[in-house]
Amino acid sequence: MLKTDKLTKKFKDTLAVDNVSLELRKGESVGLLGPNGAGKSTAIAMISTLLKPSSGDVRIHGKSVLKDPGDMRRVLGVVPQKIALYEELSAYENLKFFGRLYGLSGKKLEQRIGYVLDLVGLSDRKKELVKHYSGGMQRRVNLAAAMMHEPEVLIMDEPTVGIDPQSRNHLLETIRRLNHEEGMTVLYTSHYMEEVEKLCDRVYIMDRGKVIAEGTKEELKAILSDQETVWIEFDQSYPELFKKLSEIEGVQHADVEERSLKLMIPKGMRLLASLFHEAERHGAQVTNVHVQTPTLEDVFLRLTGRTLRD
Amino acid sequence: MGAFLIKDIMLLLRDRYELIILLAMPFLLIAILGFSLRGIFSGDLEALEMDVALIVEDDEAQGIEMVQNSIDGMGLPQESEQTLKQAAESASPQTMLTSLLDSEEISGLVRIERMGRDQAEENLEAQSIDAIIIVPDGFTQSALNNMLFGASGGAQLELLAADGASPKSDVLVSILEEFVRTLNFESSISRLAGDTETVAIAGGIETITAQKSMTSFQYYTISMAVMFVLFVGSAVARQANLEQRQMVFERIRLSNRPPLLYLSSKAIAAAAIVSVQLMLLFGLSTLLFQTFAVDSWDFWLGIALISVVLAVSVGCLAAFMVALTLRVESDAVPAIFSAGVISLMAFVGGSFVPLDGMPESIRTIGSWTPNGAALSAYFSWMLDPDVHQLSGPLARICAVGVLFLAAALALFPRKGGAA
């Protein structure tokens, strides 16, 4: 349905996006995962026809959109990272304006406004000015505005940045419903691994302008088939012990938190004997140990040596 | 187009800051300037009326006698001596001054009362009078010496004005300076011509009014209106910058509407806002200050014609500013325009002071600004409602508008660098 072919964007000496090829099939939900500065937003801007690529192509239904972006714009609903709304207008007035831009009018316009407001759960507060909404509510209207023209593909660029957990869950649930129940194709960009993991069937992982891995969640996690992550919790913080454990031979990566430690080790490595020995030496009490299933965060870590938050 | 217009007007109506700039500020200035400077404009001299004490320390008879005595000692032929003595007696500069102050033209403005120095100073202190004119000792002698023999110095008068009496005292100074200058100059001419019979003051009083039939409220309603319509340009450009920063502009682009629709909607919205702004300013000023006659349809039709042409031109200016703002992706354009360029345009366009005394170059530049040309058109229509006289200024407003529009089309980022 939507394909990019070796999409590249160069700003002076900076290669923001480097030969990125993506594909979205009808009805699927695809994640674009990567840390800040990975080139996700630039790639989204090119796919949305808002930024001209330095090279490469974007195709919708097999047709290039570079010369005539109209075909792409008709089927795309874009939810930008910023709140692209008029703060001095109400949610209703914003949606009415954007709906009219897409040629809607009269009863059809009112019906569509009613539908998208119901979808984002703001029907009862539609008359309030957007500037009086919480960040989460503004994000929901931001999504509603992109839905006004009944797009086939929804492109979302970090739609949950800076919002409270409740609004975040509401937004994620709305996107899940759109994809699962209405068959909408979704391209979801985020640096929150758990969001992509929850929403997306397939994932592209981007770093420094390039796609460094792609596949279903299971395929990506299979990259870590020779590894496992051990999570150990202690009664209190033991900085010296944590350092010692991180330096045990075979430990590939250590993530230290206040009272816990996450170690990435080769599958089959005998860690527990050394762990309890060192804990006893430091007078520490281990309160919990378990082996975690690999996450996309672990995959990113394995591929880049950095976490998504770095 | 309708969606854009409704949205732009709704946004403006909800922006208190812009509403204050576009409506409250000009109206406040019209009220302040209209009241405080009403005396500067003809037919409205009440504000300049003043009470003045006249102290005469000069002994005119003694002055004449001293001059006549000095003629005796010059060794001139008897006939010449006689002529000069008669001239000294008939010239009488002090009488000329009192005649001037008692004249119909001045007495309507200045009420003169002779009094002693102590009383005059006391009254000035108590602010029961506005100024004191002192005819100093030796005034007659100095004036006659200058008049008959060209002696340096000439006649001098002294003026004491109360604190804060300006612009009243300015007017009085100007009257007295004109008198003294005329007296000394005319007497010099008379002496050179050998005419010693009489000395007439030919100069009279300088006219201080620029437009005979215009009141201060009329002047400032028009001049503030044509100045403040320019702020619509920066308001619209500021909104465009906000749309660009908040990515609303990108959302609009994604709707696949022709990019020029956005630009033209900004121009039309600006023109509509200017029309409403002018209507409100002229209407409120007329309602509250009786600035214009309300019963002349012809007059208002002319005002409407000029206003529409000005509104369209400002719409083009707004389009130019929007295009430039989007091109440079900064709010510096509307900020610089509203903070500096508008004041400059208002100055050269004559919104602050009449341009009569300004250099020709400034008047020419001013006449090519939309506000300056509109000011000229409105004044012309008020003083002489002849539609032919409007053609020049209206043509200039249109020409400037076309230039702004051409620049806007050249600058507007139709694709914004995107596909």
Distance from CA of A154 to the nearest CA of B (A): 13
Determine the residue of chain B that is closest to A77 in CA distance: B254
Look up the CATH number of domain B48-193: 3.40.190
For residue A8, pLDDT over 70 is answered with yes
- Among A66, A89, A146, the residue with its CB nearest the CB of B10 is A89
The yes-or-no verdict on residue B255 having pLDDT over 60 is yes
Residue A113 has pLDDT above 60, yes or no: yes
* pLDDT at residue B210, rounded to an integer: 33
Per-residue pLDDT tens digits for A58-92: 998 888 888 788 888 888 899 988 899 999 999 99
Please check the confidence at residue B206 and state whether its pLDDT lies above 50: no
Give the residue, A41 or B49, on which the prediction is more confident.
A41
Highest mean pLDDT (candidates A100-104, B103-107, B258-262, B379-383): A100-104
Residues of A in contact with B250 (CB under 8 A): 50, 78, 80, 84
pLDDT computed for residue B47 by the predictor: 56
Average model confidence (pLDDT) for chain A? 87
Domains and CATH numbers, chain A: 2-221 (3.40.50.300), 225-304 (3.30.70.100)
CA torsion A62→A64→A68→A73, rounded to 10°?
A: 60
Structure confidence at residue B52 (pLDDT):
86
Top mean-pLDDT range of A106-110, A290-294, B338-342? A106-110
Confidence of residue B305 (pLDDT cuts 50, 70, 90): very high
- Average pLDDT score over residue span A132-148: 91
Distance CA B2, CA B8 (A): 10
Is pLDDT at B311 greater than 90 in this prediction?
A: yes
pLDDT attached to residue B357: 66
Report which secondary-structure segment, H or E, holds A194. Answer: helix A193-199
Amino acid B169: pLDDT: 66
- What pLDDT, on the 0 to 100 scale, is given for residue B253? 87
**pLDDT tens digit string along A17-65?**
999 899 999 999 999 988 888 888 899 999 988 888 999 999 988 888 8
Q: What is the pLDDT of residue B167?
A: 56
Contact A73 B416 (CB under 8 A): no
With cut-offs at 50, 70 and 90, classify the pLDDT of residue B194: very low
Residue A94 clears pLDDT 50, i.e. is over it: yes
Q: Which residue has the higher pLDDT, A223 or A170?
A: A170
pLDDT over threshold 60, residue B165: no
Q: Which of B357 and B200 is assigned the larger pLDDT? A: B357
CB proximity B247 to A under 8 Å: yes
Is B254–A78 a contact, with Cβ atoms under 8 angstroms apart?
Answer: yes
- Give chain A positions within 8 Å (CB) of B17: none
Token code pair at residue B244 = 């660009």
Predicted confidence at residue B419, as pLDDT, reads 38
Q: Residue A86 and residue B242: Cα distance in Å, rounded?
A: 9
Mutate to test the interface with B, among A9, A54, A89, A101 (most CBs of B within 10 A): A101
Quick check: B246 and A100 CB within 8 A? no
**pLDDT tens column, B361-381:** 888 888 899 999 999 899 888
Is residue B256 less than 8 Å (CB to CB) from chain A? yes
pLDDT of residue A116: 93
Contact map slice: B 74-133 vs A, CB within 8 A: none
- Rank A31-40, B383-392, B396-405 by mean pLDDT and report only the highest: B396-405
Give CA separation, B161 vs B108, B127, B131, in Å: 19, 10, 4
pLDDT given at position A222: 72
Q: What is the pLDDT of residue B313?
A: 95
Q: Nearest CA of chain A to the CA of B419: how many Å?
A: 4
Confidence of residue B298 (pLDDT cuts 50, 70, 90): confident
Q: Does residue A240 sit at the B interface (CB-CB below 8 Å)?
A: no
Kindly report the average pLDDT of chain B as a whole number: 80
Smallest CA–CA separation between A180 and chain B, in Å? 25
Tell me, what's the pLDDT at A223?
Answer: 72
A147 interaction partners in chain B (CB closer than 8 Å): none
Q: A264-279 pLDDT, tens per residue?
A: 888 778 888 888 888 8
Q: What is the pLDDT of residue B185?
A: 59
pLDDT for B123 beyond 90: no
pLDDT-derived band at B39 (thresholds 50, 70, 90) equals low
Chain A residue numbers touching B256 (CB-CB < 8 A): 69-70, 73-74
Share of chain B above pLDDT 70, in %: 84
Q: Which residues of A touch B15 (CB under 8 A)?
A: 88
Which chain B residue lies closest to A89 (C-alpha atoms)?
B11
Residue ranges covered by each domain of chain B: 2-41+213-411, 48-193
- Whether A56 has its CB under 8 Å from any CB of chain B: the answer is no
Comparing CB atoms, the residue among B11, B256, B419 nearest residue A74 is B256
